[in-house]
Chain A
Amino acid sequence: MSLFSFSTNKKVIATKPKIAHFSLSTQNSWLLWCCQCINIALISAELSSWMLAIIALSFVWQALLLNKNATSHKLSSDKKNSQSKKKPDHHISPVFLGFFAIAGCLAITLSAQGLGVLLSMVHLLSFAYALKAFELKSRRDFYQLFLLGLFLVAAALIFKQDLSFALIAMVALVVNLAVLLQFFSRAQAVSNTLKTVLLLLGQSMFLAAVLFIVFPRLSPFWQVPQANSATTGLSDTVQPGDIAKLAQSSELAFRVNFSQGNIPTYSQLYWRAMVLEDYDGRAWSRTAPDPATVSHDNYQLEAINKRLFMPNTFKESEKLNYQIITEPSFQHWLFALAPATSKDNSLLLLPDYTIQSRKLLSQAKGYHLDSYLNSPLEVNIAQERKAQNLALPARSNPRLVQLAQQLAQQYPDSEQRAQAVLTQIREQQYFYTLEPPRLLNNSLDQFFFDTKAGFCEHYASAFTFIMRASGVPARLVTGYLGGEYNNLSSDGTTNRSNEAQGAQQGHLSIYQSDAHAWSEIWVEGKGWLRVDPTAAVDPMRVNSGFSTQLQQQQLALNNNLLSFNHLKKFAWLNELRLRFDALDYQWTRWVLGYSNDKQRDLLQQLLGKVQAWKVALIIIGAMAISIALVFGVMLLINHQKKQKRALSPWLVLYQKALLILANNGLEKPVNVTPQKFLLILKIKYPELSLAFARVNASFTRLNYQELTREEQKKEFKKLQQHYKNFIKATKKI
């Protein structure tokens, strides 16, 4: 900013010292209004509907006021006697505004429990932002409003960080800055202002990038309260119909990047999230203690020990290494192809081969996993676990129990028994549908024998129930199936994967619509076996994804016009979508996923061994160099634009004196010479004229007379002395 200090210096002199009434020009008012709308729109997803309604109301009100002001302004300028009359400004009375504000704050406080700390703060911020626009009484209010706007944009980024949102936030930032700049240079066209803002942003981008890479990521000094956002994705209880609902969403769940070898076939991509072992007759839920309350270390230790001491079960040749980047789900669940291991400390490996994150997933998280697809799970389990997976509530689904007992007699082998159930599903008239008919009391009997139409969780529940009733330990597993392969994300730094022959480039995107439920049965000597009854009713779903009929169903149910299923219909749109997805993937991977550890790794690569002083040195050095570079370039540009001439020190001093006078109500018009100004001063402030005359005389000598170096120095000292005396004189008045 120091580069622009000259111009600001001038501006200060040019502004009138006494601003009786602050008002924005009509154009600027509207610009500000639009900017406010954009800022609020950015965060609108997080606001509750009543708050949005209040804010919308105040914006409409604001617009009406602006409109009124504009017309009355026109009228008064037509009358020409606008100067004598007071400007008829329409303002809301402060009492009313205060009442409104207090009422709004009360409402926020009352609903704070439901909203959580972070969201209620965001509500408060937005509310203040909307109301502040009503009382723009001075420049300071305008600045406050501007800062609040910036804060709001930043706050919006707490909740969402994907590429498209980041771009939108960037646009909002540009608009905010443009409004500020427009305020300072009213004469400029808006397009010119935009150009300037973009130029400035472009210049600062480089600095921002350097700081992003090298600036140490300090842990926050205070705990940012977790966003109490609605959880997305799978929940840890499943009732029939839950997953069908989830499958209508086209939101991204997570992305996978296989670092070496081939991607497994579609039907192998069973991304396990949760294992549900408890059935209460209505819903499946899990028993494992809540990860937030249990001391993790014991649990973790047990899990790791179990896996490490099964040397024969995991074959190194079958190892599949991949990286998963999840979207924020505000849950703890992570996804894996079982069985999987990881050395990542932030992960919690549970004994049922599911994985949890130690922290709530409020941000995108990346983690590496090693999976051994064909290895058995838990060949030996304890008796109590067996019993748990056989437990059924008394007197539920009697018809299924009956069927199960029948089958148990018919097929003594548990695998054959499972096969028999699948055959029945395959051969009878069962339908796979996203719109399952409602079941009374979630009765599986009703589904299996009467309606015979359901989504994956219906079949998995029913199958698991039958298996349990027939004496085979079985459990329900939820997760995702398949994923969309995107090979457009060419990877800039895949040196590791390039080493592997035939390395796959690209990534898998798994959407909420890929949510799935299946069963696992425990067979003596083989461990847990995956059985997917969906494969029996709709083989296509398991082998390649949604059938066209399902897709149409999905389209009909999904009212989001922009959902990718609509776009899929056009090849080029689909390609565009995939490209954007690839870009978003890189963004998530490199920008959002740039963590403390990655930064350390990078510095380590650059510097060798990490030592505190080295890191400090490189950070300071990089910052200094980048700042110097940016300023150097700017200086160079400025120099080329106009051969810049530094203001002489005496002129600066003289202008300071003028500024003091201007603040006291006597401004020097630019075209008045110092000598003439002195005459004006003598009339208006006779008591100051002597002191100022000395300043003036010295300045005149320095500025206009030809002096030798020595004389100049002497005279400047005199000027400084005179200036001090002048200031003393002004203080007396």
Chain B
Amino acid sequence: MSPVLSPSENQQVIQDILATIESVVLGKPQECKLALACLLAQGHLLIEDLPGMGKTTLAHMLATTLGLSYQRIQFTSDLLPADVVGFSMLNHTDNSFELHKGAIFNQVVLADEINRASPKTQSALLEAMAEEQVSIDGATYELPSPFFVIATQNPLSHSGTYPLPESQLDRFMMRLSLGFPDLAAEKKILLSHNGKNKTLTKAPTVNHTAIIDQAGLLAMQQAVQEVTVANDVLEYIIALSHISRSAYVDKPLTAQQSNKTGSLGDLHCNPLSPRASKALLSAAKAVAFIDNRDYVLPDDVQAVFYVVCQHRLEQTPTQILSQHAQKNSIAQRILEQVDVLNPLAY
């Protein structure tokens, strides 16, 4: 495969990937698309949901269809940092220390049930996610590229979980939740389970091969970066993040907003960092790319705003999967405040 594809070829590949993933993760096209967008935007993905909702399946499918090396770490409360990043071991034959690479030395790391591990172990992941490198015994090792962490976690109310610190949450570009499948999808799942292909449930990805290789993925990521953004959309993103900061910034962005801070001021959300607005922009670009556009629309920003920003805005201890929760979330309220056509409203 040539590293640079034409737009139409790109679109073909993307559609293939999505179709493949959706054939396994049934009834969740929107979530699949967002997950793919996250990877195309070079961000790490956090999937939060109840056990048995297909988190791991989604992560697995992403890795395989993109043709990336993949390893899964099951996080438990006694998991140690060395288990994640690796360790040096004495080689008795030549009396030298030999590096035993941990699971993190893969292009896709699935950190399953990440909030079950102790904070110490969680933070071992931190350096890796931010710097794409790990330090073991004073030596620094580059991680393979592209490098993704796809973490899954259970809702915090479940027993035996440690909440992820804000710093670590901020490093995930998106937090997705899959939610329950609709009736038709669930029926299909049951049918496939009950039917001839029993192996599917065991290892649903076994049958699928990579659709794109590493070079192709890198080229596609490059193409995503080249999606153009109009001034209006930039201002829209700025206005969105600025509203979340109204409690911290003396001067309101506009007169119009100054009237509104009253309604938002009592929400006490965490302000969005510039990293967040950067993530918002990248994710919006990726969504635009998946939709076969070379420019970003405000719709793209709105599509990713909840998944990119909600986990940065507030810690939601309880269920996050219901539609109701999304409708009443702070992210949604912020979206309602900003005029799409004239974000910095004069």
Question: Is A704 within 8 A of B230, CB to CB?
Answer: yes
B 290-303 to A, binary, CB cutoff 8 A, 1 in contact else 0: 00001111110010
Provide the residues of chain B in CB contact with A187, threshold 8 Å. 259
Q: How far is the CA of A651 from the CA of B294 in the complex (A)?
A: 21
A645 touching B346 in the complex, CB below 8 Å, given contacts A703-B230, A704-B296: yes
For A706, the chain B residues whose CB sits under 8 A away are 228, 230, 295
Most buried by B among A651, A676, A703: A703
Instruction: Name the residue of chain B whose CB is nearest to the CB of A642.
Output: B346
Residues in B with CB closer than 8 Å to A654 are 341
B232 touching A704, Cβ below 8 Å = yes
B131 CB, nearest partner CB in chain A, Å: 33
Is B338's beta carbon under 8 Å from chain A?
Answer: yes
Contact (A10, B335) CB under 8 Å given A676-B299, A704-B296:
no
Known: A10-B345, A644-B346. A670 touches B295 (CB 8 A): no
Interface 0/1 of A653-693, CB less than 8 Å to B: 01100000000000001111111100000000000000000
> Which residues of B have CB within 8 Å of A675?
297, 299
Task: Report if A486 contacts B (CB, 8 A).
Answer: no
Given the complex of chains A and B, what is the CA–CA distance between A10 and B232 in angstroms?
17
Residues of A within 8 A of B340 (CB): 670-674
For B259, what are the chain A residues with a Cβ–Cβ distance below 8 Å?
A: 187
Q: Is A705 an interface residue (CB 8 A)?
A: yes
Q: Is B339 an interface position by the 8 A CB rule?
A: yes
Given A675-B299, A700-B297, verify A670-B338 contact (CB < 8 Å): yes
| Cβ of A317 under 8 Å from chain B | no
B residues 257-304 with Cβ under 8 Å of A? Answer: 259, 294-299, 302
Cβ of A7 under 8 Å from chain B: yes
- Cβ–Cβ < 8 Å partners of A642 in chain B: 254, 346
* C-alpha spacing A644/B345, complex, angstroms: 11
Given contacts A7-B346, A645-B346, contact A671 B335 (CB under 8 A): yes
Q: How far is the CA of A673 from the CA of B301 in the complex (A)?
A: 10
A473 to chain B, nearest CB (A): 82
| Residue in B233, B302, B346 whose Cβ sees the most chain A Cβ within 10 Å | B346
Q: Is A143 interfacial (CB-CB < 8 Å)? A: no
Chain A proximity of B232: nearest CB distance (Å): 6
A671 x B337 contact (CB < 8 A): yes
Query: Bound state CA distance, A76 and B82, in angstroms?
Result: 67
Asked if residues B341 and A705 are in contact (CB atoms below 8 Å), the reply is: no
How far apart are the CA atoms of A712 and B7 in the complex, in Å?
Answer: 23
The residue in chain B whose Cβ has the minimal distance to the Cβ of A705 is: B295
- Which partner residue on chain B sits nearest A651 by CB separation? B341
Within 8 A of B (CB), among A209-242: none
> How far, in angstroms, from A207 to B299 measured CA to CA in the complex?
48
**CB contact list, B211-240 vs A, under 8 A:** 228, 230, 232-233
Minimal beta-carbon separation of B212 from chain A (angstroms): 27
Tell me if A449 is interfacial: C-beta within 8 Å of chain B. Answer: no
In the assembled complex, the Cα of A264 lies from the Cα of B52 at a distance in Å of 113
Interface size in chain A (residues, C-beta < 8 A): 24
Residues in B neighbouring A672, C-beta threshold 8 A: 340
| Residues on A with beta carbons closer than 8 Å to the beta carbon of B232 | 703-704
Report Cα–Cα, A669/B337, bound state, in Å.
10
Chain B residue with minimal CB distance to A703? B232
Interface residues of A in 529-586 (CB under 8 A from B): none
Does A6 reach chain B (CB closer than 8 Å)?
Answer: yes
The chain A residue with its CB closest to the CB of B333 is A671
Do B302 and A673 have beta carbons less than 8 Å apart? yes
Measured CA separation A217–B140 after assembly (Å): 89
Q: Indicate if the CB atoms of A671 and B346 lie closer than 8 Å.
A: no
Q: Is the CB of B297 within 8 A of A673?
A: yes
Within the assembled complex, what's the spacing in Å between the Cα atoms of A101 and B338?
Answer: 50
In the bound assembly, the distance between CA atoms of A700 and B232 in angstroms comes to: 11
A705–B299 Cα distance when bound, in Å, is 14
**Residues in A neighbouring B295, C-beta threshold 8 A:** 704-706
A366 to B297, CA, bound (A): 73
The docked-state distance in angstroms from the alpha carbon of A479 to that of B115 is 104
B342 within 8 A of A: yes
Contact with A along B304-346 (1 / 0, CB 8 A): 0000000000000000000000000000000111111110011
Q: How far is the CA of A670 from the CA of B228 in the complex (A)?
A: 24
CA distance A669 to B341 in the complex (A): 11
- Residue of A6, A644, A655 near B341 (CB, 8 A) is A655
Contacts of A645 in B (CB 8 A): 346
Give the complex CA separation of A704 and B298 in angstroms.
9
Interface residues in A612-662 by Cβ distance below 8 A to B read 642, 644-645, 647, 651, 654-655
Question: Chain A: which residue is nearest B254 at the CB level?
Answer: A642
Per-residue B-contact encoding for A2-15, CB less than 8 Å = 1, 0 else: 00001100100000
Cα-based distance from A705 to B259 in the complex (angstroms): 32
**A673, B299: Cβ atoms closer than 8 Å:** yes
CA distance A62 to B299 in the complex (A): 52
Cα A642 to Cα B254 in complex, Å, equals: 9
A165 to B324, CA, bound (A): 64
Most A CB atoms within 10 A — which of B259, B297, B335, B340?
Answer: B340
Inside 8 A of A644's CB, which chain B residues have their CB?
Answer: 346
Q: How far is the CA of A451 from the CA of B296 in the complex (A)?
A: 106
Most chain A CB neighbours (cut-off 10 Å) among B228, B230, B337, B341: B341
State the Cβ distance, A712 to closest chain B Cβ, in Å. Answer: 12
Closest chain-B Cβ to A262's Cβ sits at a distance in Å of: 63
Determine which residue in A655, A671, A672, A706 has the highest number of CB atoms from chain B within 10 A of its CB, and name it.
A671
Q: Which of A6, A7, A671, A705 makes the CB contact (< 8 A) with B230?
A: A705
Q: Distance (Å) between the CB of B276 and the closest chain A CB?
A: 19
A178 CB to nearest chain B CB (Å): 19
B residues in contact with A669, CB < 8 Å: 336
Contacts of B298 in A (CB 8 A): 673-674, 704
The CA of A532 and the CA of B114, in the complex, are separated in Å by: 115
- Give bound CA distance, A674 to B233, whole Å: 13
In contact, A671 and B338 (Cβ under 8 angstroms): yes
B346 and A705 form a contact (CB under 8 A): no
Q: Residues of A contacting B338 with CB < 8 Å?
A: 670-671
A421 to B337, CA, bound (A): 96
B291 to chain A, nearest CB (A): 11
Shortest CB distance A662–B (Å):
13
Q: How far is the CB of B298 from chain A (nearest CB, A)?
A: 4
Q: How far, in angstroms, from A645 to B342 measured CA to CA in the complex?
A: 11
Complex interface: chain A residues within 8 A of B337 (CB): 671
Alpha-carbon gap, A6 to B228, bound state (A): 28
What are 16 A-B pairs at a CB distance below 8 A? Answer: A6-B346, A10-B342, A187-B259, A642-B254, A644-B346, A651-B342, A654-B341, A670-B339, A671-B338, A672-B340, A673-B340, A676-B299, A704-B230, A704-B297, A705-B228, A706-B295
Q: Which 8 A-B pairs have the closest CB atoms?
A: A670-B339, A706-B228, A704-B230, A673-B298, A705-B295, A673-B299, A671-B336, A675-B299
Given contact pairs A674-B298, A704-B298, A706-B230, a sample of 11 additional A-B residue pairs in the complex whose CB atoms are under 8 Å apart: A10-B346, A651-B342, A669-B336, A670-B338, A670-B341, A671-B336, A671-B337, A673-B297, A703-B230, A704-B232, A706-B228
Interface residues of B (CB under 8 A from A): 228, 230, 232-233, 254, 259, 294-299, 302, 335-342, 345-346
